[in-house]
Copies of this chain bind each other. A is one copy, B any other.
Amino acid sequence: MRYLPLTQSDRDTMLTQIGAQSIDDLFADVPEAARLTGPIRGLPSHATEMAVERHFSALARQNMAASHHPFFLGCGAYKHHVPASVDHLIQRGEFLTAYTPYQPEIAQGTLQMLFEFQTQVARLFGCDVANASMYDGSTACWEAISMAGRITKRSKAVLSSGLHPHYVSVCETMAHFTNDMLDVAKPDFAGADTQRLIDNIDEETSAVVVQYPDILGRIEDMSAIAAKAHEKGALLIAVVTEPVALGAIKSPGEMGADIVVGEGQSIGVGLQFGGPYVGLFACQKKFVRQMPGRLCGETVDAEGKRGFVLTLSTREQHIRREKATSNICTNSGLCALAFSIHMSLLGERGLCDLATLNHARAVQAAQRLNKVPGVRVVNDTFFNEFTLELSKEARPLVRELADRRILGGVSLGRLYPDVNALQNGLVVAVTEIVTDEDIETFADALEELLS
């Protein structure tokens, strides 16, 4: 077998040397009843590389790949062009096949990269510090609520109706078992629920959670929410699912967010059918010891040279066990690397230009689609994603578009199957990958399907 270096004669020699009769001797502690005598039944036997590759090629062909079709999906996962050098670099064996950098003398590559990543994320979010990544945006969101609970010693969080419904679900799963209270609401085409949030923050509130831009693509100023939260001793948690937006709009930190979490997939990582992604987690300095996850810090070595280590580990499970700030261990290191490389390639100029380009394309698309009879753009404000209200239910329409080889957005019916008022909503994302032709094709198809 190609992955197993031991030859049969190696095995025999080694068994003899350690005084075992056969390999079964080494499994002597397994109770008789649980010992299997042959390979597990009902599973195939080994396969050649070629056979495996062909199997997957056949499966891959059953999927419509984003780059082969006009593509307008967003809602928490965005398709951007990722430079080829990113994927080349993350495949360097020294990055790909390294473990968590617990031995810093031979892990400076990963550590320095994490330090750079943390700085990039903190600056982008307008925060003092950021950690070395979480699983994804949705789990980071719950971790932020949980952290706010530890800080405020309160257990009620007020969630914006504009928070991604899957993020809400993840929080609900956890809150149900931790006896936390979540104040939730569903989105409304009429506008964001800033006022509801402000009204509902009270002395019991640990945090108010606002997505920016929100699930329908709207951009709202969070300053007033932050002010009210701080007045009541609560924290403002901002959630960013499209970090590219921050090349064009104010950072949440500027508006007073105490914790900012986000999904970093959009930069460097790609769609990947939902994972692995990379959770971004930043906060203001005073909360650093309540942060979940790994942190990389600068220090010096025995010769006084600058170097990096994982630090403040007394927050973490491997040191603090049941008293840790989170149970997270393995995080999303390689995706953080991809994010960081892509962000270094962009730089401030590139990120801002990319944001401007995305916005410009989205505005063009919104104008064009708004002209289609039976289509109304819901948003007053948006970055690269906006919501259409259609004259028909959106969910079947999305399938019809797919039949025409157009991946035409995310229907709100998929996200909110139980909210009648949203069934005609279609969330459309437009990034730099969308061409004029794509927009025309989409508009034409919509026109036909809606008439």
Determine which of B2, B81, B91, B433 lies in contact with A88 in the assembled complex, contact meaning CB atoms within 8 Å: B91
* A2-39 interface code vs B (CB 8 A; 1 in, 0 out): 10000000000000000000000000000000000000
Judge whether A50 is part of the interface by a CB distance below 8 angstroms: yes
Judge whether A83 is part of the interface by a CB distance below 8 angstroms: yes
The CA of A345 and the CA of B83, in the complex, are separated in Å by 31
Contact B91 A49 (CB under 8 A): no
User: Which chain A residues (50-99) contact chain B, with CB distance < 8 Å?
Assistant: 50, 53, 81, 83-84, 88, 91-93
The CA of A7 and the CA of B53, in the complex, are separated in Å by 45
Residues in B with CB closer than 8 Å to A432 are: 50
Contact B81 A50 (CB under 8 A): yes
The CA of A88 and the CA of B97, in the complex, are separated in Å by 13
Determine which of B2, B50, B84, B93 lies in contact with A433 in the assembled complex, contact meaning CB atoms within 8 Å: B50
The CA of A345 and the CA of B2, in the complex, are separated in Å by 9
Residues in B with CB closer than 8 Å to A91 are: 88, 91
The CA of A91 and the CA of B84, in the complex, are separated in Å by 13
Residues in B with CB closer than 8 Å to A81 are: 48-50
The CA of A84 and the CA of B57, in the complex, are separated in Å by 14
Residues in B with CB closer than 8 Å to A84 are: 49, 53
The CA of A97 and the CA of B384, in the complex, are separated in Å by 39
Task: Give min CB distance, A121 to chain B, whole Å.
Answer: 23
Task: Give min CB distance, A360 to chain B, whole Å.
Answer: 15
The CA of A93 and the CA of B94, in the complex, are separated in Å by 12
The CA of A49 and the CA of B53, in the complex, are separated in Å by 28
The CA of A84 and the CA of B2, in the complex, are separated in Å by 12
Residues in B with CB closer than 8 Å to A433 are: 50
The CA of A53 and the CA of B83, in the complex, are separated in Å by 10
Contact A49 B88 (CB under 8 A): no
Task: Give min CB distance, A270 to chain B, whole Å.
Answer: 14
Most buried by B among A50, A92, A345, A433: A50
Closest to A52 in B: B84
The CA of A139 and the CA of B428, in the complex, are separated in Å by 57
Closest to A50 in B: B81
* A252-277 interface code vs B (CB 8 A; 1 in, 0 out): 00000000000000000000000000
Task: Give min CB distance, A15 to chain B, whole Å.
Answer: 23
Residues in B with CB closer than 8 Å to A88 are: 91
The CA of A75 and the CA of B432, in the complex, are separated in Å by 45
Residues in B with CB closer than 8 Å to A93 are: 92
Residues in B with CB closer than 8 Å to A83 are: 2, 49
Residues in B with CB closer than 8 Å to A49 are: 81, 83-84
Task: Give min CB distance, A107 to chain B, whole Å.
Answer: 20
The CA of A210 and the CA of B394, in the complex, are separated in Å by 70
* A416-436 interface code vs B (CB 8 A; 1 in, 0 out): 000000000000000011000
Residues in B with CB closer than 8 Å to A50 are: 81, 432-433
The CA of A88 and the CA of B49, in the complex, are separated in Å by 15
The CA of A48 and the CA of B357, in the complex, are separated in Å by 13
The CA of A18 and the CA of B48, in the complex, are separated in Å by 62
Most buried by B among A48, A49, A345: A49
The CA of A49 and the CA of B91, in the complex, are separated in Å by 20
The CA of A174 and the CA of B93, in the complex, are separated in Å by 45
Closest to A91 in B: B88
Closest to A88 in B: B91
Closest to A80 in B: B50
The CA of A2 and the CA of B345, in the complex, are separated in Å by 9
Q: Can you name 11 A-B residue pairings with CB atoms under 8 Å?
A: A2-B83, A2-B345, A48-B81, A49-B81, A49-B83, A49-B84, A50-B81, A53-B84, A91-B91, A92-B92, A92-B93
9 nearest A-B pairs in the assembled complex, by CB-CB distance: A50-B81, A49-B83, A49-B81, A88-B91, A49-B84, A50-B433, A50-B432, A91-B91, A92-B92
In addition to A48-B81, A49-B83, 6 A-B residue pairs with Cβ atoms within 8 Å of each other are A2-B83, A49-B81, A50-B81, A50-B432, A50-B433, A53-B84
